[in-house]
Amino acid sequence: MGRSAQPGIERRREILRILQSRNSVSISELSLQLGISQSSIRRDLEVLERKEAIMRAARGTVVARKPPLRFLFARAGPASKHTDGPHIRIGRYAAQLVSPEETIFVNHGPATLELVRELVRRSMPVTVITSSLAIACELWGQELVRTLLVGGQLPGGRVEVSGSVACHSLQILAANVAFIACDGASSVRGIGFDDAERGQMAASMLANAGRKCVLADATRLGRIARFSLPPTAEIDLVITDASVPRLHLRQLVEASVDVRVVDGRADSNGCVRSAESGVDLLARESSGTAPAAPDYLLEQQDPRALIGAGAS
């Protein structure tokens, strides 16, 4: 290794030593302590962040990545800038529904994970109550986000706590809004889960939230999962994506469920800004003011064929 690379390596080692003793420090403090410019500090931090030695919180604070528990799927890195995945679009749109200083319930799922990432990107001061270790790991060290991880049993191979202790913990808590990722959503059977314990946790969150919001991509709508919660009439909002089969969308609309269809458009920062109500989308397509839905979205499907089909 060339001699010119040594100063940078030594600086980064010194940054890590500082963080080991102080846990968090600002860029300006590092610049002053090491006697180099803030731009040089930022370049060093970018190297350390790529190596996952640190993570950066809001307002220029740098936080050492100390938790021994890691989830390879919990941090998307550069891929998080994509706006192609339905769960990413749904999660980013849902984050717009959160106001500063609110408390939210969030269970485990790809859309809810993206929701909390978007809150961090927005530097939103909120309290997140979650049953997901992956989401708690994502929020670790974020000074503007207060995280409450519900305690309970952790079944082998899972990343979400459950059980009677966890449900009791949720019963004594309250939130302004619950964001629930589900395995199925039907106008007949309500929202559902393939695992009863996950369903019980979601039911506890919904029961103690002022507003109830379900995040379900198009593959979930119309699907009847094994464990069903109360009817969708008790849900305030369902957020889905534009590939939702129109039969299932129409069934939810006719059941008076408020459905928002995220169209995927994003601004320069990757924030999804636009969604259309299910009522308006169906009306525009039927009147001819919007392109007709593709044939595969109009096909009649037997809901029984969807039971147990490929939820994750």
**CATH at residue 60:** 1.10.10.10
Q: What are phi and psi of 208, to 5 degrees?
A: -115, 20
Asked if residue 289 and residue 146 are part of one domain, the reply reads yes
From the list 244, 269, 271, the residue with the least C-alpha distance to 259 is 244
Asked if residue 117 and residue 18 are part of one domain, the reply reads no
Bridge partners, residue 237, by sequence: 213
Asked if residue 137 and residue 55 are part of one domain, the reply reads no
Asked if residue 103 and residue 54 are part of one domain, the reply reads no
Is residue 268 scored above 60 in pLDDT? no
Q: Is 190 part of any domain?
A: yes
pLDDT of residue 230: 62
pLDDT of residue 252: 85
Is residue 301 scored above 80 in pLDDT? no
pLDDT of residue 17: 82
Last residue of some domain: 64, 95, 112?
64
From the list 159, 47, 142, the residue with the least C-alpha distance to 150 is 159
Q: Is 71 part of any domain?
A: no
Reported confidence tier of residue 109, pLDDT bands at 50, 70, 90: very high
Cβ–Cβ under 8 Å, residues 225 and 278:
no
Q: Is 147 part of any domain?
A: yes
pLDDT of residue 303: 34
Reported confidence tier of residue 225, pLDDT bands at 50, 70, 90: confident
Whichever domain contains 187, its CATH number is: 3.40.50.1360
Is residue 56 scored above 80 in pLDDT? no
Q: Please list, in sequence order, all residues whose beta carbon lies within 8 angstroms of the beta carbon of residue 260, skipping any fewer than 6 positions away.
A: 93, 237, 238, 239, 240, 275, 276, 277, 278
What is this structure's pTM?
A: 0.69
Percent of the chain with pLDDT over 70: 74
Asked if residue 97 and residue 191 are part of one domain, the reply reads yes
Q: Is 170 part of any domain?
A: yes
Cβ–Cβ under 8 Å, residues 27 and 60:
yes
Cα–Cα distance, 43 to 27 (Å, whole number) = 11
Q: What is the average per-residue pLDDT within 276-286? A: 77
Last residue of some domain: 64, 91, 107?
64
Q: Is 307 part of any domain?
A: no
Q: What is the CA radius of gyration of the chain?
A: 22
Q: What are phi and psi of 241, to 5 degrees?
A: -115, 170
Asked if residue 257 and residue 194 are part of one domain, the reply reads yes
Is residue 76 scored above 50 in pLDDT? no
Q: What is the average per-residue pLDDT within 2-12? A: 67
The domain in which residue 233 lies consists of 77-302
Asked if residue 83 and residue 177 are part of one domain, the reply reads yes
Q: Is 69 part of any domain?
A: no
Last residue of some domain: 41, 64, 87?
64
Cα–Cα distance, 16 to 147 (Å, whole number) = 25
From the list 97, 109, 106, the residue with the least C-alpha distance to 127 is 106
Strand order from edge to edge, sheet including 227-228: 184-186, 190-193, 227-228
Asked if residue 131 and residue 39 are part of one domain, the reply reads no
Cα–Cα distance, 108 to 138 (Å, whole number) = 12
Q: Is 308 part of any domain?
A: no
Asked if residue 119 and residue 57 are part of one domain, the reply reads no
Q: What is the average per-residue pLDDT within 225-249? A: 82
Asked if residue 43 and residue 138 are part of one domain, the reply reads no
Asked if residue 16 and residue 128 are part of one domain, the reply reads no
pLDDT of residue 94: 94
Total domains in the fold of the chain: 2
Cα–Cα distance, 229 to 96 (Å, whole number) = 26
Q: What is the average per-residue pLDDT within 266-288? A: 68
What's the mean per-residue pLDDT of the chain? 78
